[in-house]
Chains A and B, each alone.
Chain A
Amino acid sequence: RKEVEQDPGPFNVPEGATVAFNCTYSNSASQSFFWYRQDCRKEPKLLMSVYSSGNEDGRFTAQLNRASQYISLLIRDSKLSDSATYLCVVNLIHNNAGNMLTFGGGTRLMVKP
């Protein structure tokens, strides 16, 4: 079983749609959670951190359920520019690897006009 699992998609949605991605992680000792965005043939960039109480950044809402080891990302009013791969990322503070991030395989989103 992968440490961080995501539906690879692709999710094809029209502009203006609301779309949600889910992610599960296997290590209950995981301490921090993130969503990164990766455009085609580009490096990943931090989209937002995920807090236990849930957090919102404009059109993006992230939620965490520690009991179920489940993370979600909701995008409202999707734009063409939201087309990218969204990576669920889990941070396990590892004695030897510091701020070690474990990446899911990513969920590809394609927003159509």
Chain B
Amino acid sequence: GAGVSQSPSNKVTEKGKDVELRCDPISGHTALYWYRQSLGQGLEFLIYFQGNSAPDKSGLPSDRFSAERTGGSVSTLTIQRTQQEDSAVYLCASSVVPGTSGLNEQFFGPGTRLTVL
């Protein structure tokens, strides 16, 4: 079946521009997660959605970052007034349920590689 998809796969933008990244989770997965991975670094948690709501936004690095999820499916991560330090791979993951069980696997999309010039 189809996995998590993300678009665009690559995005090059100029400093100060806004960008929008899209994530399409696996059908039926209620939980959706955004992470950021800078070059040679581990994954940094950004935000989590349960259905359409985002109970925890504490991982967003600044108020330039926002995310939404509509219809319990597709999510968009928006970065306003991009800065060079925003350059990273932005990964989206989804899981079946948000988890009282700790063993729910998160399935990752291929990521969006963002480069801010």
Contact = CB atoms under 8 A, between A and B. Distances in A.
A33 B76 CA distance: 29
Q: What bracket does the count of chain B residues touching chain A fall in?
A: 20 to 34
Interface in A85-102: 87, 91, 93-102
Given A93-B100, A96-B55, A104-B42, A43 B105 contact: no
Contacts of A44: 43, 91, 108
B28 interface: no
Interface residues of A, number: 25
User: What's the dominant secondary structure at chain A's contact region?
Assistant: strand
A93 B99 contact: yes
Nearest to A8: B40
Interface in A43-68: 43-46, 49
B45 A101 contact: yes
Contacts of B99: 91, 93, 98-99
Contact of B91 (A43, A46, A93, A100): A43
B45 A43 contact: no
B59 to A, nearest CB: 8
Of A45, A99, A101, most B-chain CB atoms within 10 Å: A99
Contacts of A45: 108
A1 interface: no
Of A43, A45, A102, most B-chain CB atoms within 10 Å: A43
A96 B42 contact: no
Contacts of A96: 48, 55-56, 58
Nearest to A105: B42
A26 to B, nearest CB: 14
A69 B83 CA distance: 37
Interface of A: 4, 31-32, 42-46, 49, 87, 91, 93-106
25 contacts: A32-B103, A42-B110, A43-B91, A43-B111, A87-B43, A93-B99, A93-B100, A94-B56, A95-B55, A96-B55, A96-B56, A97-B45, A97-B48, A98-B48, A98-B55, A98-B97, A99-B95, A99-B102, A100-B48, A100-B56, A101-B106, A102-B45, A103-B42, A103-B43, A104-B42
